[in-house]
């Protein structure tokens, strides 16, 4: 027997489906920051951001993204330092603490701190994703107009966060402000200094811009400007290098402010050989992404020129005889030049960033 609905009955409740932010094309129309909801914020990986007893509150002007991995012994001091200076300022803020699957008590320390620091929001990861992943997801989920990246290891001058933010607020011509370190206090200092100098000089040559500090972890930038570039961020430490080169390659102005750099608390997660290698690859990858001719065309032209010169010499010595090495130089140069032109065509025809 068919049953007909009672027209006087109240309508069934409507369940709203929440469309989580997608990491691949962050900054598009499905950005949840543009459509605030009272439901717990969910990331594209399905994690829930934990708020304190008072809830998330209104959207702030500044979001401090603070990746934490085994920082339980000192993360509370860092939170207190950041909170104190922002409370004294005129800026509204939130601190998005991302626990990157720590194996110590970091997550519990962060959760306990929410009772005393209402601006803290906690995003726990179930598995370690790296500092780049934490910063990418943290920036995607940030509610502030200005996003600040820093570390929880007591190395950066976080007392100067309001200064960096005010530069962006008062000068719309800048899209990012970086705390440029004047000293190097990391492990393997004897090797890190020349390696970073070499990588920085390569980045300066490729971007045609002076870069005082390529991989500083203390920086503030406009969230809406950064969203299209977040999908380019690698999982590791070179994410800070990537965001710098992405901004410079797309004509976003960056201001550098000199800061000091203290000896870190706890154990460093930086591995010199592996991370330095990834830094170099990431610099080349980013420039290839924005300007492949800059990387590929110079070696192609050099190979063609050497091949032509060698062909002339071979012609003089042995008329109408060209060794395989001469032919290889010219053909290889032409192939690389063709690849450079094809790559540039792909870049120019790409929709968006």
pLDDT at 26: 38
Q: Are residues 235 and 253 in the same domain?
A: yes
Q: pTM (2 decimals)?
A: 0.76
Q: What is the CATH number of the domain that holds 183?
A: 3.90.550.10
User: For residue 244, what are the domain limits?
Assistant: 32-290
pLDDT at 261: 86
pLDDT at 234: 85
Give how many domains the chain has, as a whole number.
2
Sheet bearing 176-181, strands edge to edge: 50-51, 120-124, 93-99, 62-68, 146-149, 219-222, 176-181, 254-259
pLDDT average per 10 residues of sequence, the chain (353 residues)? 47 38 38 48 68 89 96 93 96 96 94 94 93 94 97 92 97 96 66 76 85 92 95 83 90 94 64 66 79 90 95 88 90 95 88 67
pLDDT at 352: 64
Whether residue 67 lies inside any domain: the answer is yes
Whether residue 17 lies inside any domain: the answer is no
Residue with tokens 């992404």: 289
Q: Are residues 239 and 340 in the same domain?
A: no
Instruction: Annotate 101-127 with b (16+ C-beta within 10 A) or e (fewer).
Output: ebeeebbebbbebbeebbbbbbbbbee
Strand partners, 120: 95
Q: Are residues 286 and 299 in the same domain?
A: no
């Amino acid at each position: 027997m068919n049953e007909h609905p009672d027209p006087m009955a109240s309508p069934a409740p409507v369940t709203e489906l929440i469309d989580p932010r997608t990491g691949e094309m962050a900054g598009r129309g499905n950005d949840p920051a543009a459509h605030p909801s009272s439901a717990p914020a969910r990331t594209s990986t399905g994690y829930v951001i934990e708020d304190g007893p008072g809830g998330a509150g209104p959207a702030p002007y500044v979001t401090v993204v603070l990746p934490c991995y085994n920082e339980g012994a000192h993360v509370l001091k860092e939170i207190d330092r950041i909170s104190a200076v922002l409370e004294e300022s005129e800026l509204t803020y939130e601190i998005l603490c991302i626990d990157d699957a720590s194996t110590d008590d970091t997550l519990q320390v962060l959760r306990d701190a929410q009772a005393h620091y209402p601006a803290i929001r906690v995003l726990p990861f179930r598995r370690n994703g790296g500092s780049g992943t934490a910063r990418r997801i943290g920036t995607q989920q940030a509610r502030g107009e200005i996003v600040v990246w820093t570390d929880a290891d007591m190395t950066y001058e976080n007392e100067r966060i309001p200064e960096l933010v005010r530069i962006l607020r008062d000068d719309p011509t800048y899209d990012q402000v970086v705390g440029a370190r004047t000293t190097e206090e990391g492990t393997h200092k004897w090797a890190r200094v020349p390696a970073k100098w070499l990588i920085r000089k390569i980045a300066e040559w490729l971007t045609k811009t002076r870069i005082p500090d390529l991989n500083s972890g203390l920086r503030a930038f406009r969230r809406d400007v950064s969203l299209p570039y977040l999908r380019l961020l690698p999982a590791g430490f070179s994410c800070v290098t990537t965001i710098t080169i992405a901004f410079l390659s797309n004509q976003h102005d960056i201001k550098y402010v000199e800061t000091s750099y203290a000896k870190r608390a706890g154990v460093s997660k930086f591995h010199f050989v592996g991370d330095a290698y990834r830094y170099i690859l990431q610099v080349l990858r980013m420039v290839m992404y924005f300007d492949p001719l800059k990387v590929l065309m110079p070696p192609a032209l050099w190979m063609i020129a050497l091949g032509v010169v060698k062909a002339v010499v071979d012609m003089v010595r042995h008329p109408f005889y060209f060794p395989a090495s001469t032919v290889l130089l010219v053909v290889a140069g032409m192939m690389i030049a063709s690849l450079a032109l094809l790559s540039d065509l792909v870049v120019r025809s790409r929709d968006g960033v």
